[in-house]
Structure 1
Amino acid sequence: MNELDRLLGHLRAAPAPDRLAGIDGEVLAAVSARRAGSMAVSNASFALVAVLALFVGIIGSGVTQPHPMRMPLAPFGVPSALAPSTLLAETP
């Protein structure tokens, strides 16, 4: 580890390269150029997806089953004929 510490000390003491002086402006220019190019694509993509979703919704609401089968509503399975609630409802 002493060798690594010595090498890092030399790196810290060395002056920064002159090319790094203008790196901030170049990075910010590249980010703004990329953002400007991607926003046009993303807005067009969003519009296309929104129109597609609208058409799928309209078509999906128009397609219905001709005679829907009605199923009894029983959350825990088919109700039994011998359940206490059915036996109490009967009058002799």
Structure 2
Amino acid sequence: MKLQLARLIKNICYAAGCASAVLSLALKSAPQTAQRWLLFGGIALLVLGFLVSVTFYRCPHCHRVLPANRGKMDDCPYCKLPLRDTK
């Protein structure tokens, strides 16, 4: 999987998971089963984002896991080689 695609999937999973979990807490008038589904779905999305991050969001040169809390990076913070393909 390409690094940019892994980053996009990771960020979407994190954002959707957080939104789902917060929405489950905000919908107090909804049935309790709906709240549980939203909460567990949010937790599942957060776990999926973490797994994508640990498995695929790695430097293509040194294969170390890239930090998830940094913005868009041009170079690996560990080996200092460029993260983009030089084709």
Same fold (TM over 0.5): no
Comparing both structures, which one devotes a greater share of its residues to helix?
1
Shorter-chain TM-score range: 0.3 to 0.5
Normalising by the residue count of structure 2, what TM-score does the alignment of the two structures yield? 0.34
The structure whose RCO (Cα within 8 Å, separation 6+) is larger is: 2
Normalising by the residue count of structure 1, what TM-score does the alignment of the two structures yield? 0.32
